[in-house]
Amino acid sequence: MNNQLSMKLAETVKEAKKSLLFPPIYEDAYGEGDECYDEGTFFQRQGKGLLCGKMVFYSGEFYDLTIDGDVDLCMEVFLTDEGELVKFYTIRESRYCQVCQETHSRLHRMVAKDQYLDDDEIDAIINNISVDLKTAG
Ligand SMILES: [Zn+2]
């Protein structure tokens, strides 16, 4: 990351920590309906409670249909309440259930081994946070 970009990021993150909300991040989640998650388990920070953050970047990697729904894998970056960027891979699955006659959704999020973000991604993250700051302010 070049100097100018990392300074801009640090400044934006500082503002975000003051103004944005950082809910706990689901590791596994379930719900009824599409993209609706209301129960599950959250990531734990070692000895420090729940890992909280806000999604600041999203990139679809894979999407396809299954026999009764769809599945999608994406890369996500969260800004944590401690000002760190954490990269995840997230699988979402939804399927129509004949028994309940509604859609069940399931999500599983994994911390990426390679936390590298390129300059274009950092640039997009700065933009996304700036938009959030405008709506929050
Ligand atoms: Zn069901």
* 25 pLDDT higher than 90: yes
Instruction: Please report which confidence band the pLDDT of residue 96 belongs to, taking 50, 70 and 90 as the band edges.
Output: very high
Domain that holds residue 96: 3-129
Q: Does residue 135 belong to any structural domain of this protein? A: no
Rounded to the nearest whole angstrom, what is the distance from the C-alpha of residue 95 to the centroid of ligand 1? 9
Spatial neighbors of 3 by CB under 8 A, at least 6 apart, are: none
Phi, psi of 67 (to 5 degrees): -60, -30
pLDDT at 114: 97
Q: Whole-prediction pTM value? A: 0.93
For the chain, how many structural domains are there in total?
A: 1
pLDDT at 1: 79
Rounded to the nearest whole angstrom, what is the distance from the C-alpha of residue 69 to the centroid of ligand 1? 13
Residues 12-38, mean pLDDT to the nearest whole number: 92
Rounded to the nearest whole angstrom, what is the distance from the C-alpha of residue 67 to the centroid of ligand 1? 15
Instruction: Please report which confidence band the pLDDT of residue 137 belongs to, taking 50, 70 and 90 as the band edges.
Output: low
Rounded to the nearest whole angstrom, what is the distance from the C-alpha of residue 28 to the centroid of ligand 1? 18
HSE of 62 in the Cβ direction (CA atoms, 13 Å)?
A: 10
In angstroms, rounded to a whole number, what is the distance separating the alpha carbons of residues 37 and 93? Answer: 12
Q: Does residue 89 belong to any structural domain of this protein? A: yes
Instruction: Please report which confidence band the pLDDT of residue 46 belongs to, taking 50, 70 and 90 as the band edges.
Output: confident
Rounded to the nearest whole angstrom, what is the distance from the C-alpha of residue 30 to the centroid of ligand 1? 12
Rounded to the nearest whole angstrom, what is the distance from the C-alpha of residue 66 to the centroid of ligand 1? 16
Q: Does residue 110 belong to any structural domain of this protein? A: yes
Q: Does residue 90 belong to any structural domain of this protein? A: yes
Rounded to the nearest whole angstrom, what is the distance from the C-alpha of residue 26 to the centroid of ligand 1? 21
